[in-house]
Each structure stands twice: as C-alpha cells, then as structure tokens.
Amino acid sequence: SQQGEEDPQALSIQEGENATMNCSYKTSINNLQWYRQNSGRGLVHLILIRSNEREKHSGRLRVTLDTSKKSSSLLITASRAADTASYFCATDSNSGNTPLVFGKGTRLSVIA
C-alpha cells in the first residue's frame, strides 16, 4: 500500500540552485525518512525526522514535517551535479503487513 507520494516526479535545476521535493502521506506516522538512490543502485539514508519534530538539518539538507498537513519537504541547498539522483520518502505503512513504505520518488537532475 502506497503511503508516501513524492512531488514533483521529476525536477531539473542548474548547479547552485536549491531543490525542493515534497512527500505527502495519508495516515498518521511515527517517523519519516528520506533516502537517495543513484541510478540503478542501492538507496542511501539521508535523514530521519520524528513526528514530534518540525524541522531537521544535515549539511545542505533541510527537512520539514507538517503532521497537520501530512506532508514533508526535503530542501537541498546550493545543489551540485553529484546531487543528481532519485529521492524517496519512507514512512510507516497503513497496512499491518508492511513495516515501511516508500513513495515513487522524485528524479532530480542537476545540470552543471
């Protein structure tokens, strides 16, 4: 069952610009995670934000969580070509069988 849905599906920006990706979910959550995936490779964990947190930073990454709107955003500041990847949010499932559900991802292209 799909819980998180990222928006936009694809994003293309110039190097140095900021990139913002959004994730919406349907039911209440405990935590929300963001992952990055370089083309056809494994996912890398970026950041975890708890349901009682509103904002979290890690280097050039800033994640916000709005539980009233059931949404989260990932901001990458001063983007680099190396940031080109797909970005996924993952959170609790609304199905008892699946502990963690990933969205379909946002494909980010950073043009040098």
Both tokens of 109, joined, read 């292209």
Enumerate residues 6+ apart whose C-beta is below 8 A from 19.
11, 13, 75, 76, 79, 83, 108, 110
Element (H, E) at 52: none
Coil, helix or strand at residue 33: strand
Q: Are 50 and 31 in contact (CB under 8 A)?
A: yes
Binding-residue pattern over the window 43 to 72 for another protein, x denoting contact by CB under 8 A: xxx--x------------------------
> Toward another protein, which CB reaches closer, 17 or 66?
66
| DSSP 8-state assignment for residue 72 | E
- Among the residue ranges 13-21, 62-70, 75-83, 98-106, the one whose residues contact another protein (CB under 8 A): 98-106
Q: Which of 14, 42, 52, 69 binds another protein (CB under 8 A)?
A: 42
> Toward another protein, which CB reaches closer, 71 or 91?
91
Q: Which of 11, 19, 21, 33 binds another protein (CB under 8 A)?
A: 33
Residues lying near another protein in the complex (CB under 8 A) are found at: 1, 4, 29-33, 35, 40-45, 48, 88, 90-93, 97-105
